[in-house]
Structure 1
Amino acid sequence: MRTLMMAAVLALGISGAALADPMASAYGNTVTITYPNGAVAKMHIDADGTYVTKTPDGASSKGTWKIDGGNTCFSQTEPAPPAGMAANCSPTAEKKVGDSWTAPGPNGSTITVAIVAGR
């Protein structure tokens, strides 16, 4: 499930040469991932290249993120990911506080991702 959450938020960054930091809209805010059953995971992305996610069941995971060649990539570090699990990368797209979008979820479902002001 954590991998699916990461895939859902990969397009979170803000693209554009005029912006000094394409992930700035996420700092100090919460990225929510809402599943078809109404369960919500919460993700906090920090300027130091780290993130923390709390799953709907209360478990937490941590990792690092970076922008690489126009892609935003997330790599889980705690708990240790399964062997061979690569970073989840997707093209960086423009998002801001208040935006929401849909993404593929588990078993062909659709999940809703949003950037909510505050933590």
Structure 2
Amino acid sequence: MSAPALKHDVFQAVADPTRRSLLKLLAHQEMPIVALSENFPLSRTAINKHLHILSGAGLVSSRRVGRETRYRFQPEPLTELRDWLDFFETYWDDRLSLLKEFVEVKPDPQ
């Protein structure tokens, strides 16, 4: 029996700027690693490692087309990230309201 596949954390996967850039590229269209590599000053091996992490987090899927592997963006796992950020939205709304109130309060003319 083989070991279970390592699942990467969505937060860890999007923490890296290169991986975020890869997701942006893949959001527009399915792309092979050769085309993805042309957008970065990194080797194909390095891009492949980033894609492996994104794949482990469920953020990209791949399929073979002839001799190349094409990658596609899978946005569903980002709901975990959105839900986490939504939790803090109230905090920021409250803080911004307090700041607005502070700025708009007229100073006491003495």
Compute the TM-score of the two structures, normalised by the length of structure 2: 0.27
Q: Which has the larger radius of gyration?
A: 2
> Where is the helix percentage greater, Structure 1 or Structure 2?
2
Compute the TM-score of the two structures, normalised by the length of structure 1: 0.26
> Where is the strand percentage greater, Structure 1 or Structure 2?
1
